[in-house]
């Protein structure tokens, strides 16, 4: 049993929360001695649909071990994240199989990791091969949609693939979407050069998410007829946005949030395996990357071309408030409730009987200062 005192993230009300087992037992009003503004906030644990690794570990590494996977997943507790989707980008069949096998083993050995892994996200390999839309995904492994290959990977993962990003214009994609959706996998549109008609066909087939809308695209597109407007204006698509301060300008974040409305936006940090590493130059099979002093992750040798994100989810919560002027409630829900709903996972509610996945924080200028993270009623990071 645990007792904590903090202000609710959604109402600002000071409360006393007690837990019993993995559940919230009571939430009662509390009367702080002194200034209530000194109290930290409490919120449901953050949930990120797209995490590529941490501290030098890549989930897409052909040689990933279960120990490395577990360490990289647990690393997110200190940022208030209690659930995430380890993300494997475009790779050979054997590379993807090895990554999924290691994540599965990590889940089977450690109940905390198993709870934190809401499902694996396959980002590719059925994506556009064009420069721009393909982003940093290796061209040699991009291929047409293949249900049989996916089914083998799904089996290797122990049915953990819950989300897949693909490009609707790839041969076989529309049929693939229908089969994947009926098997319970959520389909996202991303790394695409699709026509507006192809986007519509994918949504009609059951695609429900746009992966990092506004990124993974050509530098120049037709001003009216393009895959960004088509997805931004499609009410059946939720948009995930990388709001790390580098991937999208403030005006575009604001425009997307207003167009979609906050309830149809999901924040993701899309952190690279280099997240958590100090500024410097790093090398993987995808090439040399550099973390600048500003936290921006770029292709080494210049300062503009991004090579992924080196920020974690809590940074996006702070930035979306700054860029789009949303409330704490909306900002937290974009990084907790909305992804949970999309993947049909339980959303931890701050009320009696709710899942006790919580975190306690104070807002900082650049990120959240997390003092404790609780998973299923147990303190897994920091202290009360
Ligand atoms: Zn991507």
DSSP readout, 115-151?
HHB--EEEE-SSS--STTTTTTS-GGG-----HHHHH
What is the pLDDT at residue 302?
A: 87
DSSP state, 105?
H
How confident is the model at residue 185, as a pLDDT?
98
Question: 123: which 2 tokens?
Answer: 């980002």
Query: What is the pLDDT, as a whole number, of residue 286?
Result: 75
Per-residue pLDDT band for 110 (boundaries 50, 70, 90) equals: very high
Task: Report how far residue 142's alpha carbon sits from residue 328's, in angstroms, rounded to the nearest whole number.
Answer: 39
pLDDT on residue 287: 82
> How many A from CA of 139 to the centre of ligand 1?
13
350-383 tens-digit pLDDT: 999 999 999 999 999 999 999 999 999 999 999 9
Mean pLDDT confidence for 309-323 = 97
By CB neighbour count within 10 A (0-12 exposed, 13-18 middle, 19+ buried), where does 344 fall?
A: exposed
Compute the average pLDDT of residues 299-310.
87
Q: What is the pLDDT of residue 51?
A: 98
Query: Is 270 designated active site?
Result: yes
Backbone dihedral region for residue 159 (phi beyond 0: left; psi -120 to 50: alpha; all else: beta): left
Q: How confident is the model at residue 384 (pLDDT cuts 50, 70, 90)?
A: confident
pLDDT over 90 percentage in the chain: 92
Q: Of 48, 61, 110, 270, which one is the catalytic site residue?
A: 270
Taking the centre of ligand 1 as the mean of its atom positions, its distance from the CA of residue 243, in whole angstroms, is: 14
pLDDT band at 261 (very low <50, low <70, confident <90, very high): very high
CA of 161 to the centre of ligand 1 (A): 16
Section 289-312 average pLDDT: 90
- 41 phi and psi angles, rounded to 5 deg: -100, 155
| Confidence (pLDDT) at 303 | 86
Tell whether omega for the bond before 125 is within 30 degrees of 0, i.e. cis: yes
Average confidence (pLDDT) over 225-246? 97
**pLDDT class for 253, splitting at 50, 70, 90?**
very high
pLDDT at res. 304: 82
Burial of 182 (0-12, 13-18, 19+ CB in 10 A): exposed
CA 293 / ligand 1 centre spacing (Å): 23
In this predicted model, what pLDDT tens digit does every residue of 152-171 receive, in sequence order?
999 999 999 999 999 999 99
- Please, how many CA atoms are within 13 Å of residue 165, restricted to the half-sphere of its CB? 30
| Helical segments of the chain, H only | 66-74, 93-109, 111-116, 147-156, 173-182, 196-205, 227-232, 250-260, 313-324, 328-334, 337-342
- The mean per-residue pLDDT over the stretch 217-229 comes to 95
- Is the separation of the CB atoms in 272 and 52 below 8 Å? yes
DSSP label at 355? B
373 CA from centroid of ligand 1 (Å): 28
Q: How far apart are CA 317 and CA 330, in angstroms?
A: 9
Position 12 scores a pLDDT of: 95
Confidence of residue 299 (pLDDT cuts 50, 70, 90): confident
Residue 217 Cα, ligand 1 centroid: separation in angstroms? 10
What distance separates the 2 farthest-apart alpha carbons in the chain? 64
pTM beyond 0.95, yes or no = yes
CA distance 214 to 192: 11
* Ligand 1 centroid distance, CA of 198 (Å): 19
Computed from CA positions of residues 65, 70, 75, 80, in that sequence, does the dihedral angle turn out positive or negative? positive
Q: What is the DSSP letter of 101?
A: H
pLDDT value, residue 37? 87
At 308 the pLDDT is 86
pLDDT at residue number 41: 98
Select the more confidently predicted residue: 307 or 93.
93
Model pLDDT, residue 70 = 98
Rounded to the nearest 10 degrees, the angle between the axes of helix 173-182 and helix 147-156 is 40
């Amino acid at each position: 049993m645990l007792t904590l005192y903090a202000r609710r993230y959604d109402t600002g009300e000071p409360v006393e929360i007690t837990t019993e087992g993995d559940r919230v037992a009571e939430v009662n009003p509390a009367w702080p001695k002194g200034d209530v503004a000194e109290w930290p906030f409490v919120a449901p644990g953050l949930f990120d649909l797209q995490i590529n690794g941490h501290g030098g570990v890549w989930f897409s590494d052909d040689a990933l071990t279960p120990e490395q996977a577990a360490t990289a997943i647990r690393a997110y507790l200190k940022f208030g994240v209690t659930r995430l989707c380890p993300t494997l980008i475009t790779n050979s069949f054997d590379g993807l199989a090895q990554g999924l096998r290691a994540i599965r083993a990590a889940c089977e050995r450690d109940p905390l990791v198993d709870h934190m892994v809401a499902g694996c996200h396959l980002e590719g390999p059925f994506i556009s091969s064009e420069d721009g839309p393909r982003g940093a995904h290796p061209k040699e492994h991009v291929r047409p949609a293949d249900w049989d290959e996916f089914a083998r990977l799904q089996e290797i993962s122990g049915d953990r693939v819950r989300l897949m990003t693909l490009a609707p214009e790839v041969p076989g994609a529309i049929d693939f979407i229908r089969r994947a959706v009926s098997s319970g996998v959520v389909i996202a549109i991303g790394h695409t050069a699709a026509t507006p008609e192809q986007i519509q066909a994918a949504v009609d087939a059951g695609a429900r998410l746009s992966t990092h809308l506004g990124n993974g695209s050509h530098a120049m597109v037709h001003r009216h007829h393009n895959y960004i407007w088509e997805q931004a204006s499609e009410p059946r698509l939720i948009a995930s946005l990388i709001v790390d301060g580098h991937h999208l300008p403030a005006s575009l974040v604001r425009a997307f949030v207003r167009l979609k409305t906050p309830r149809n936006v999901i924040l993701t940090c899309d952190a690279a395996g280099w997240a958590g590493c100090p500024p410097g130059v790093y090398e993987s099979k995808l090439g040399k990357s550099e973390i600048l002093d500003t936290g921006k992750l770029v292709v080494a040798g210049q300062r503009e071309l991004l090579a992924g994100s080196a920020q974690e989810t809590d940074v996006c919560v702070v930035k979306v408030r700054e860029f789009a002027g949303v409330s704490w409630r909306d900002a937290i829900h974009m990084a907790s409730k909305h992804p949970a709903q999309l993947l049909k996972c339980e959303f931890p509610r701050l009320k009696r009987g709710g899942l006790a996945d919580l975190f306690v924080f104070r807002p900082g200028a650049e990120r959240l200062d997390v003092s404790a993270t609780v998973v299923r009623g147990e303190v897994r990071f920091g202290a009360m």
